[in-house]
Amino acid sequence: MSFIHAEFCRKVLDPELYSEKRTPLDSVKYFISEKLPHLGWGQTKEKEVVLDVGCGPGGNTFQLILPLFPQAEKIFAIDLMPNMIEFARIHNNHPLIEYTVADIENRSTVEQWKGQISKLTAIHCIQWLKDKRRGFQNIFALLKPRGEMAFIFVMESPVYASILALESNPKWSKFFKDIDDFVSDDHINKYESSRYKKMLEEIGFDILYFEEDVKSDPFSSDEEYRDFFASICALTSHVPSHLREEFKDDLFQEMLKLCGRDSSGRPVHLANIIEVVARKCPETLNDSKSI
């Protein structure tokens, strides 16, 4: 969630709660472990330099991205939140992975990798950027000639609708005066995915794969579901501590109304998601809009 101010992030997001879902989401696991190899990722014998943008506590980096690249020379993993990077270094450590505090929207924090990255991933990160074009331009600059990026990007999600519902609920609204709820502008403005396909092509990417679909991700228990989504809700930390569990319960019930349960009774998360794989076009390698 790269655009959030570091001090605010330390207050809002708890890496331990965020990491309670130890197993990656099914949709993420399929995209990285099945779809990307089908598109040639991890199949080369050349040494790859990989960058994972918005790595959070490092679970996906360690469990999915590391195995995808058996020939990796180095995997850099970045996140704006120092507490997430600290957690990743302790709990998802590996000699090939280097965790660093950096912001993909702030060119000064990532320019050390300019033109060096052969593969770049951004899993459930792009939707949080305030200036997505700038983020994509910086990604473009970091990639080597014909380097590729892959990302999963939430366009619309019940978690946003649930946050907006609680934010306007008189029971809770008094705690949320003049704060940013971090609800994605894509959800608010009902943007179409074609907006981003055009944006990427204008920057100089060649779109190799582009899919929009509603993805369903089940959680193993109500508690896991409740704690995970409370951990990514910017409102949670603004609720007084003695009312926080009640707030988490209300958020859970709002989401359950919208998403329901699967045939096994597990709570699920349903979201409209785009998956993209794109390559840096050689004819635009010196694009002046990048870093």
Q: Of 87, 94, 42, nearest to 69 (Cα)? A: 42
Fold type of domain 15-155+184-217+272-280:
Rossmann fold (3.40.50)
Percent of all residues in the chain with a pLDDT value above 90, rounded to a whole number: 74
Distances (CA, A) of 85 to 63, 96, 213, 229, 271: 16, 15, 31, 20, 27
Average pLDDT over residues 196-200: 96
pTM of the entire predicted model: 0.86
Residues 124 and 157: their CA atoms lie apart, in Å, by 12
Q: Which pLDDT tens digit goes with each residue over 80-126?
A: 989 889 999 999 999 999 999 999 999 999 999 999 999 999 999 99
- Are the beta carbons of 158 and 183 closer than 8 angstroms? no
The more confidently predicted of residues 210 and 234 is 210
* Per-domain residue ranges of the chain: 15-155+184-217+272-280
Give me the long-range contacts of 105-109 (CB less than 8 A, separation at least 24).
105/2, 105/3, 105/129, 105/130, 105/131, 105/134, 105/135, 105/138, 107/138, 107/141, 107/291
Average pLDDT over residues 118-137: 94
pLDDT value for 22: 55
Mean pLDDT of the chain: 89
Q: Residue 23: pLDDT band by 50, 70, 90 thresholds?
A: low
- Give SS3 for 285: coil
Q: Which pLDDT tens digit goes with each residue over 246-288?
A: 999 999 999 999 999 999 999 999 999 999 999 998 765 444 4
Is it the case that residue 18 has pLDDT exceeding 70? no
Is it the case that residue 163 has pLDDT exceeding 80? yes
DSSP 21: -
Would the CA dihedral through 211, 280, 33, 87 be positive or negative?
negative
Is it the case that residue 6 has pLDDT exceeding 50? no
Instruction: Name the one residue in this structure whose structure tokens are 């020939």.
Output: 71
Is it the case that residue 3 has pLDDT exceeding 50? no
Average pLDDT over residues 143-169: 94
**Phi/psi of residue 279, nearest 5 degrees:** -115, 145
